[in-house]
Amino acid sequence: MSEKILVIDQGTTGTRVAIYDEEGKPVQGGWAYREHSQIFPKPGWVEHNPLEIWEKTLICMKEVLDRSRIRAEEIAAIGVTNQRETVVVWDPRTGQPLYNAIVWQDRRTAPITDELRRGHFELIYEKTGLVPDPYFSGSKIRWLLENIPGLRDKMGKGEALFGTIDSWIIWNLTRGSPNTLTPDKGGAHVTDYSNASRTMLFNLHKLDWDPELLELLGGIDVESLPLPRPSSERDAYGYTGPEVNGVFNGKSVPVTGDAGDQQAALFGQVGFDEGDVKSTYGTGNFILLNTGKNVVKSKNNLLSTVFYSLEPGKATYALEGSIFITGAAIQWLRDGLKLIEVSPEIDPLAESTDDTGGLYFVPAFTGLGAPYWDPYARGLIIGITRGTSRKHIARAVIESIAYLTRDVIEAMEKDIGGRIRILKADGGAAKSNVLLQFQADILGVEVQRPLISETTSLGAAYLAGLAVDVWESLDEIRKLWRAERVFKPQMDAGRREKLYSGWRAAVKRSLGWAKE
């Protein structure tokens, strides 16, 4: 029986492919991972090679089927989840990219978004839930149209397709298949509402590309953009084509799930109720709060975004706070300061002291994201005394991640006018017990860590599986979630607020530091 779901999680540093069974558990041997190259052509520019990403995806798919000994017939559907905002442009006739992928971290379009901020801030915020920033896809497409010779002509002739990474992967999976939603585009040229909502071209309320924004972002032809669809597609975005014949022994598998990785993580954490919130602790932190059918207009510098959709024309929304540097600060302790040799060493070091002795560390290495949005903030360590040692610095770095998370959660609570119940944690740095205990303490809220830590790929599995009835309802999926560990707040309120006000004072000193 076909009841397993294969998931492609195409992230910023690498691609992970996994197979899940009907209990939402990864099958034995059913995962593979490959990194891809990070290309930095100029300071502030970040690119990926789309062909390399696709090749590594294929390698991982083959490896996962070989290792797990799962037969193609057992795969009911494929789910895709991805680094968001990153843009690919390719020629559908040849499958060749027309430029490298411009990655979400790339800052080259700052002059474009500065201009948009001055003239069109309200319009963009009202329609998309986003603030003009190089982070999002729209300005990257405009840059491509203005800088790649002949691209505008190609777009006019249907010889250039744009898409986020999910679109690129799904197009390749379904390339040459007769059975897709866009038969005239050489493959399924689709995206889901959650990915589309990160482009700055998508109307959050109408759940469609917005003609006024397409004009503003360089006169983008709507035909060159993917078809926006629900995150779980009952009739499939398309079926796999000859490109993946080698992987599935000629079997055509439906692609039925697609969501941006941060949205997929909240789905994998079964954050289906309004007010449910998760924080993914990676290189940075991404915190999402389910706001149900409402687009909550943040008054506290958060973004509104589509969480997921199970039905055309309908969506569940989320508030999002993105923090750029959290786990990356631990890497900096390791590679920059050489205070530790490997990242996990930070935990015992931080645990060897009960407090930082008044030390604060603000990891504003590339400015500060939500809720400060200050590109000129810079990192600082403050409160150093003769008694300060390695362990205090290690602890201050761990604590800074929890403080930054509280900053975002407080902004969310102000926006929804209530307190959050529980914080669900996932991502690499969520393995740290000392971090999650301090997180619970500084929030005064219980923090839960799930048994299956790969919540991003699990979320995409659930979305794909819902479409083919591996799971029938959200309630059925909800029952599959298990906590691996629960961290209860242990700190008294007086100490908590004293520590937090010290943090706010430290952040204040970091703001605007690099401004001429």
Compare residues 103 and 470 and give the one whose CB is closer to ligand G3P: 103
For 89, 162, 189, 198, 363, the CA distances from 144, given in Å and listed in that order, are 9, 10, 19, 18, 32
If we measure between CA atoms, which residue out of 60, 107, 111, 62 comes closest to residue 85?
107
- The reply on whether position 12 binds ligand G3P by CB under 6 A is yes
CA–CA dist 88, 80 (Å, integer): 16
Choices 78-86, 227-235, 295-303, 377-385 (CB under 6 A): range interacting with ligand G3P: 78-86
Residue 364 makes CB contacts below 8 A (sequence gap 6+) with 325, 374, 377, 378, 379, 380, 507, 510, 513
Site for ligand G3P (CB under 6 A): which residue of 167, 262, 269, 356? Answer: 262
Longest C-alpha distance within the chain, in Å?
71
CA–CA dist 495, 137 (Å, integer): 43
Compare residues 84 and 229 and give the one whose CB is closer to ligand G3P: 84
- The reply on whether position 261 binds ligand G3P by CB under 6 A is yes
Compare residues 203 and 283 and give the one whose CB is closer to ligand G3P: 283
CA-CA-CA-CA torsion for 380, 385, 390, 396, nearest 10 degrees?
A: -50
For 13, 48, 453, the CA distances from 39, given in Å and listed in that order, are 11, 6, 29
Site for ligand G3P (CB under 6 A): which residue of 104, 209, 471, 500? Answer: 104
Site for ligand G3P (CB under 6 A): which residue of 21, 47, 63, 85? Answer: 85
Shortest gap between Cβ of 166 and ligand G3P (angstroms)?
A: 11
**Helical H runs in 299-351?**
327-335, 346-351
For 91, 94, 214, 389, 401, the CA distances from 97, given in Å and listed in that order, are 6, 9, 21, 51, 38
Site for ligand G3P (CB under 6 A): which residue of 16, 36, 84, 449? Answer: 84
- The reply on whether position 267 binds ligand G3P by CB under 6 A is no
Shortest gap between Cβ of 65 and ligand G3P (angstroms)?
A: 24
Compare residues 232 and 283 and give the one whose CB is closer to ligand G3P: 283
- At residue 392's C-alpha, the angle toward residues 489 and 446, to 5°, is 10
Judged by CB under 6 A, the chain residues 186 through 205 that form the site for ligand G3P are none
Shortest gap between Cβ of 12 and ligand G3P (angstroms)?
A: 4
Choices 143-151, 256-264, 307-315, 376-384 (CB under 6 A): range interacting with ligand G3P: 256-264
- The reply on whether position 21 binds ligand G3P by CB under 6 A is no
416 close to 275: Cβ distance less than 8 angstroms: yes
Shortest gap between Cβ of 321 and ligand G3P (angstroms)?
A: 12
- The reply on whether position 134 binds ligand G3P by CB under 6 A is no
Compare residues 172 and 199 and give the one whose CB is closer to ligand G3P: 199
Compare residues 260 and 321 and give the one whose CB is closer to ligand G3P: 260
Residues 474-503: x where in contact with ligand G3P by CB under 6 A, - otherwise, as a string? ------------------------------
Choices 66-74, 185-193, 257-265, 492-500 (CB under 6 A): range interacting with ligand G3P: 257-265
Residue type present at position 108? R
- The dihedrals phi and psi of 428, each to the nearest 5 degrees, come to -50, -50
Choices 82-90, 126-134, 203-211, 440-448 (CB under 6 A): range interacting with ligand G3P: 82-90
Site for ligand G3P (CB under 6 A): which residue of 4, 11, 255, 269? Answer: 11
Shortest gap between Cβ of 101 and ligand G3P (angstroms)?
A: 12
328 token code pair:
């990356």
If we measure between CA atoms, which residue out of 287, 234, 277, 305 comes closest to residue 470?
234
For 85, 100, 214, 512, the CA distances from 40, given in Å and listed in that order, are 17, 11, 28, 26
For residue 252, what is the DSSP state?
-
Compare residues 265 and 442 and give the one whose CB is closer to ligand G3P: 265
For residue 428, what is the DSSP state?
G
Locate the DSSP E strands across 3-99. 4-10, 14-20, 26-35, 47-48, 75-82, 87-90
- The reply on whether position 321 binds ligand G3P by CB under 6 A is no
Residue 65 makes CB contacts below 8 A (sequence gap 6+) with 19, 71, 72, 247, 248
What is the size of the binding site for ligand G3P (CB under 6 A)? 11
- At residue 17's C-alpha, the angle toward residues 188 and 37, to 5°, is 85
- The reply on whether position 282 binds ligand G3P by CB under 6 A is yes
430 close to 436: Cβ distance less than 8 angstroms: yes
- The reply on whether position 459 binds ligand G3P by CB under 6 A is no
Compare residues 89 and 303 and give the one whose CB is closer to ligand G3P: 303
- The reply on whether position 47 binds ligand G3P by CB under 6 A is no
Site for ligand G3P (CB under 6 A): which residue of 83, 139, 180, 197? Answer: 83
For residue 103, what is the DSSP state?
P
Name the residues that contact ligand G3P, by CB under 6 A. Answer: 11-12, 83-85, 104, 260-262, 282-283
